[in-house]
């Protein structure tokens, strides 16, 4: 995720070319500009290009395209924001569960405190990997109920960790460390962990329908192809600049929507899941008064890019 100062206008403009999306966008704008140059040269030196499309009708097409792009961008941002909300809920649920366990467990019960700090940390780290390219096993902490080697054979690691947590809750009940009312409260927080997992999987596995995305991209392509042909007789060589600006705006908005509609990826504008998961890990150990293991995992990769 890119961290920037929204009030610093010129710094953002100065660093605009550093984004991968912008570099790809500029390449596509260059293609459209080249097409505009070709249309202008043909119209001026070979033969007059006349397209039977009225300028007013073409403007109406532009308005319709703008409305579609607004809807497209809003839909993509809704997915991005929903993903951030779910991970915010994961942070809050993990903290609430850790605070409750800290109150229920005796201060000298180092075994259970260490287990829950590790298991709750593992859940968020495993969910991060589950939503991306796979669980990073060097991040996870070994627990006393199931080894990491055994977890590697599981198809859905977050669900397995959740199942082990529920087993441990039952053990606490049998050992009379928690009562019936406490167990009900623990189950509510436990259910919230699985609900968050399901919501994130819904976002990841339900992309924008292909026909809708294809239609907008086709509309943008046809609009940019027709634009120089319709306007070259009126504006002549100025149509080259107009085509480049239109391509920058239309293609740019579409590419932004494509990037943020998958919030759990590794693009520069995606959610910093690694940092959030490691924040949960630190919080769990702090709340339960457990020292962080030295070899609990690798140093987290940098997912924040600061523009300054």
Which phi and psi (to 5°) does residue 271 adopt?
-70, 140
- Give the tens place of pLDDT for each residue, 165-192: 999 999 999 999 999 999 999 999 999 9
Q: Which token pair is 204?
A: 């990841």
Give the HSE-up count for residue 103: Cα atoms under 13 Å, Cβ half-sphere. 9
- Distance, in Å, from the CA atom of 59 to the CA atom of 61, rounded to the nearest integer, reads 5
- Give the tens place of pLDDT for each residue, 258-307: 888 899 988 777 899 999 999 999 999 999 999 987 644 444 445 555 55
Q: Who wins on pLDDT, 225 or 13?
A: 225
Whole-angstrom CA distances from 49 to 41, 46, 220, 222, 226 are: 10, 9, 21, 17, 11
- List, as own/partner pairs, every contact residues 161-165 make where C-beta atoms lie below 8 angstroms and the sequence separation is at least 24, other chains included: 161/119, 161/122, 161/123, 161/126, 162/123, 162/190, 162/193, 162/194, 162/197, 164/119, 165/116, 165/119, 165/120, 165/123, 165/190, 165/193
Containing H/E element for 305?
strand 305-306
Please tell me the predicted confidence (pLDDT) of residue 18.
62
Please tell me the predicted confidence (pLDDT) of residue 295.
45
Mean pLDDT of 242-264: 90
Mean pLDDT of 225-232: 87
pTM, two decimals, is 0.84
> Is residue 13 pLDDT above 70, yes or no?
no
Tell me the average pLDDT of the chain. Answer: 87
Which phi and psi (to 5°) does residue 2 adopt?
-90, 125
Query: Domain residue spans in the chain?
Result: 87-208+271-308
- Give the tens place of pLDDT for each residue, 74-91: 999 999 999 999 999 999
Please tell me the predicted confidence (pLDDT) of residue 270.
84
Percent of the chain with pLDDT over 90: 53
């Amino acid at each position: 995720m890119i961290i920037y100062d929204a009030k610093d206008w010129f710094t953002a403009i100065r660093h605009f070319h550093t984004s991968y999306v912008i570099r790809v966008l500029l390449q596509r704008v260059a293609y459209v500009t080249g097409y505009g140059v070709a249309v202008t040269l043909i119209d001026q030196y070979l033969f007059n290009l006349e397209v039977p499309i009225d300028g007013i009708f073409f403007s109406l097409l532009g308005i319709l395209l703008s409305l579609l792009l607004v809807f497209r961008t809003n839909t993509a941002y809704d997915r991005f924001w929903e993903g951030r909300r779910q991970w915010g809920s994961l942070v809050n649920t993990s903290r609430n569960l850790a605070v409750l366990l800290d109150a229920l467990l005796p201060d000298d019960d180092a075994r259970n405190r260490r287990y829950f700090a590790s298991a709750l940390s593992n859940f968020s780290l495993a969910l991060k990997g589950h939503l991306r390219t796979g669980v990073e096993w060097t991040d996870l902490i070994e627990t006393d109920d199931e080894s990491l080697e055994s977890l590697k054979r599981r198809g859905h690691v977050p669900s397995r960790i959740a199942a082990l947590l529920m087993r441990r809750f039952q053990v606490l009940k049998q050992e009379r460390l928690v009562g019936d009312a406490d167990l009900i409260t623990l189950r509510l927080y436990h259910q919230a962990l699985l609900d968050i997992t399901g919501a994130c999987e819904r976002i990841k596995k339900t992309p924008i329908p292909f026909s809708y995305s294809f239609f907008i991209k086709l509309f943008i392509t046809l609009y940019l192809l027709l634009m120089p042909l319709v306007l070259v007789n009126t504006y002549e060589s100025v149509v080259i600049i107009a085509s480049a600006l239109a391509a920058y705006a239309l293609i740019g908005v579409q590419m932004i929507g494509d990037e943020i509609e998958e919030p759990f990826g590794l693009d520069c504008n995606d959610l910093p899941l690694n940092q959030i998961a490691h924040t949960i890990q630190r919080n769990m150990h702090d709340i339960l008064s457990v020292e962080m293991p030295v070899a609990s995992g690798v140093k987290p990769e940098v997912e924040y890019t600061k523009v300054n």
